[in-house]
């Protein structure tokens, strides 16, 4: 039985100014990729082996079990189906939906660490086992007491030359490994980050290959205490774990020695560069920018479709209730995040391609590009995950009461995606890393050095206001100029602030701390400038179909203008923009939103998420929201019986006692 599409949604799709398929092709890199993505997604979504009850109806234990089963099955099927490594993520994301994967750290961190940090001998020993899932591993870095600050790790690996072993210990409570995914119940191995000690001297954190559970019966090995860290906001399907080690001995050969080495006599060989680990970090952060784009794309798809199905209130007496999306306030909530989803989608692509290009340079030993890449990726990771956090919640709230139901998919999306602001470097720390690079570059430019890359604009820019000009606030060039000016000015202001604090007698660390709010502000402005500029540049691609370049330009304008009016003080403070400019910008936003309104559904359809991935009754492609809300509710555990058992246990005696007393 073909489902009938809600007439309001059908009309939206008929009235769009462009064919969403063209934007889908643009977003995924061409029709062949889209074809492949769809093939693999339907393969996964139509496979009955993956079907199960709604996660929202399960206890956390059941959720863990269900997803473990699913993940193991997926692993086996990917091999059986011989899915290409390049395409694998299309299949994976369709199997798991917006939930994380219990084997995610095996695939995403354990294996890559072996690839990147094991010697050939070590690879020969472990890779085959790990790639074929004879052993399952995770990456145990974060401790109860230390996260982003790696040097603070307390776990120790002490070299014992007599036995040619490292002795692993968790010397304090706070040294317990805490958070690694899959550590609690699933993994039997891990890469352990521990402070290396040789002959009483500390050499900083290094990676060690450690078996934690028996391969026979999965019991923790002697000296190993391991378990689940308990329920969290989201990630219910994942056994984030803790791990404490007591005099656990591993052979010397278990230290991953591709970069640093410890010789049998205890001689320590330094890595050729301390920045080599940066490469992976840049990659992971680019992934988080992609995740943020995806989170916003999913959230706006749900909220915009539902806002076309939902009719509410009376705009004009006697008229039918309008679609909620016809309210300008609703557009103002959703369209800026729709634009941000596109902006970050393109940012993530650029970051990945810059990373790929520079990877070959790095592998040839040229690491000159790394500090720049590192600084840029830190700021973009922080910016995108912050905006995604706000956007997901704005979308949920824009769906009113039903957004609060797990039927909307939005609470679970938020709970699963919000850690992006914390993991792989806490966002404020990330912004301060970007700021450090900006300050360094700014000072170099003051000393006459010519800057390159993303900070080139700091060279020779005099942050003086150019008042009196009239601007076309829709011109992307003018908007990029405004964001560049703001970034340059705020970098300058932060540098001045830093200097003032120094001159007032503070030492460098205290001055840095005192200026840190300004420094974060500068790094934020720098990152936003990059995103706006990147969006505008992607639109100059001559291969872009004219029917979609018009609508994408509107999104880009909206993204820039919304950033401008929500931070208008930054542009007004030195008179770069005038009050008239800002008022103009607000009027343009209204006009742009009116123009985007008829294309809104097509713009989210273009993200091409099947219902099985959206996991949302409100966001269903067919818009048949209300009947499915009721069906879903009826299936929920509390409705298994008309009269719940709690009546007999508690309510009945209570009511009867009260009646008797009357």
Please identify, using beta-carbon distances, which residue of 103 and 196 lies nearer to a second copy: 103
Q: Which two tokens stand for residue 91?
A: 């299949």
CB 196 within 8 A of CB 157: yes
DSSP 118-153: S-HHHHHHHHHHHHTTSS-EEEE--BSS-SS-GGG-
Least Å from the CB of residue 39 to a second copy: 26
DSSP 489-512: HHHHHHHHHHHHHHHTT--HHHHH
Least Å from the CB of residue 87 to a second copy: 22
Q: Is 283 exposed, middle or buried (0-12, 13-18, 19+ CB in 10 A)?
A: middle
Q: Which two tokens stand for residue 57?
A: 């109806």
Whole-number Å distance between alpha carbons of 349 and 197? 41
Separation in Å, CA 565 to CA 184, 559, 569, 572, 582: 47, 10, 8, 10, 6
Please identify, using beta-carbon distances, which residue of 398 and 604 lies nearer to a second copy: 398
SS3 226: strand
Find tokens 């009483």 and name the residue: 200
**Residue among 380, 297, 289 at smallest CA distance from 337:** 297
CB 210 within 8 A of CB 192: yes
**3-state secondary structure string, 436-452?**
HHHHHHHHHHHCCCCCC
Q: Is 220 exposed, middle or buried (0-12, 13-18, 19+ CB in 10 A)?
A: middle
CB 407 within 8 A of CB 635: no
How would you label 106-143 residue by residue, b for 16+ Cβ within 10 Å and e otherwise? Answer: bbbbbbebbeebbeeebeeebeeebeeeebbbbbbbbb
Give the angle subtended at the CA of 606 by the CAs of 600 and 611, to the nearest 5°.
100
**3-state secondary structure string, 173-218?**
HHHCEECCCCCCCCCCEEEEEEEEEECCEEEEEEEEEEECECCCCC
Whole-number Å distance between alpha carbons of 482 and 479? 5
**Residue among 175, 275, 138, 256 at smallest CA distance from 208:** 256
What's the residue count for the chain?
Answer: 662
């Amino acid at each position: 039985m073909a489902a009938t599409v809600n007439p309001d949604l059908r009309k939206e799709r008929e009235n769009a100014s462009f064919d969403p398929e063209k934007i889908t092709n643009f977003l995924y890199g061409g029709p062949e990729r889209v074809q492949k993505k769809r093939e693999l997604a339907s393969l996964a979504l139509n496979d009955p082996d993956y079907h199960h009850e709604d996660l929202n109806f399960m206890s956390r234990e059941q959720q863990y079990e269900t997803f473990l089963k699913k993940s193991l099955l997926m692993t086996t099927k990917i091999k059986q189906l011989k899915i290409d490594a390049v395409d694998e993520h299309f299949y994976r994301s369709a199997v798991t939906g917006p939930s994380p994967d219990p084997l995610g750290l095996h695939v995403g961190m354990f294996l890559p660490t072996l690839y990147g940090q094991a010697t050939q001998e070590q690879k020969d020993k472990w890779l085959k086992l790990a790639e074929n899932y004879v052993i399952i591993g995770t990456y145990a870095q974060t401790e109860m007491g230390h996260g982003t600050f790696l040097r603070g790790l307390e776990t120790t690996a002490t070299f014992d030359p007599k036995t040619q072993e490292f002795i692993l210990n968790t010397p304090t409570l706070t040294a317990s490994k805490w958070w690694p995914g899959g550590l609690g119940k699933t993994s039997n191995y891990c890469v352990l980050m521990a402070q290396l000690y040789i002959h009483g001297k500390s050499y900083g954190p290094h990676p060690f290959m450690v078996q934690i559970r028996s391969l026979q019966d999965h019991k923790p090995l002697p000296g190993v205490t391991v378990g689940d860290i308990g329920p969290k906001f989201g990630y219910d399907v994942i056994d984030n774990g803790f791990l404490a080690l007591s005099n656990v001995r591993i052979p010397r050969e278990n230290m991953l020695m591709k970069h640093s080495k410890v010789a049998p006599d205890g001689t320590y060989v330094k890595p050729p560069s301390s920045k080599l680990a940066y490469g992976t970090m840049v990659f992971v952060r680019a992934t988080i920018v992609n995740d943020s784009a995806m989170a916003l794309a999913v959230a706006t798809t749900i909220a915009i479709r539902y806002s076309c199905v939902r009719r509410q209130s009376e705009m004009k007496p006697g008229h039918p209730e309008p679609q909620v999306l016809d309210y300008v306030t609703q557009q103002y909530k959703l369209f800026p995040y729709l634009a941000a989803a596109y902006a970050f989608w393109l940012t993530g692509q650029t970051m990945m391609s810059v990373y790929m290009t520079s990877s070959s340079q790095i592998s040839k030993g040229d690491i000159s590009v790394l500090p720049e890449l590192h600084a840029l990726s830190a700021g973009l990771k922080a910016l995108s995950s912050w905006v995604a956090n706000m956007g997901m919640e704005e979308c949920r709230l824009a769906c009113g009461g039903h957004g609060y139901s797990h039927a909307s998919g939005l609470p679970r999306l938020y709970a699963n995606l919000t850690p992006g602001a914390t993991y792989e470097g806490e966002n404020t720390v990330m912004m301060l890393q970007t700021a450090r690079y900006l300050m360094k570059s700014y000072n170099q430019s003051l000393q006459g050095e010519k800057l390159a890359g993303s900070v080139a604009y700091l060279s020779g820019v005099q942050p003086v206001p150019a008042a009196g000009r009239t601007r076309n606030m829709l011109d992307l060039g003018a908007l990029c100029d405004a964001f560049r000016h703001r970034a340059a000015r705020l970098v300058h202001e932060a540098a001045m602030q830093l200097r003032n604090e120094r001159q007032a007698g503070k030492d460098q660390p205290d001055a840095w701390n005192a200026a840190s709010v300004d420094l974060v502000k500068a790094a934020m402005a720098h990152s936003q400038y990059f995103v706006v500029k990147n969006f505008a540049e992607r639109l100059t691609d001559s291969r872009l179909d004219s029917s979609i370049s018009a609508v994408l330009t509107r999104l880009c304008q909206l993204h820039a203008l919304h950033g401008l009016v929500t931070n208008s003080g930054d542009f007004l403070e030195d008179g770069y923009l005038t009050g008239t400019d800002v008022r103009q910008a607000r009027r343009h936003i209204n006009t742009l939103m009116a123009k985007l309104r008829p294309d809104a559904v097509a713009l989210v359809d273009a993200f091409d998420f099947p219902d099985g991935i959206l996991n949302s009754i409100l966001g269903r492609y067919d818009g048949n929201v209300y009947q499915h809300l009721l069906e879903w509710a009826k299936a929920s555990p509390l409705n298994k019986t008309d009269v719940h058992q709690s009546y007999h246990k508690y309510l009945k005696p209570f009511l009867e006692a009260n009646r008797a007393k009357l």
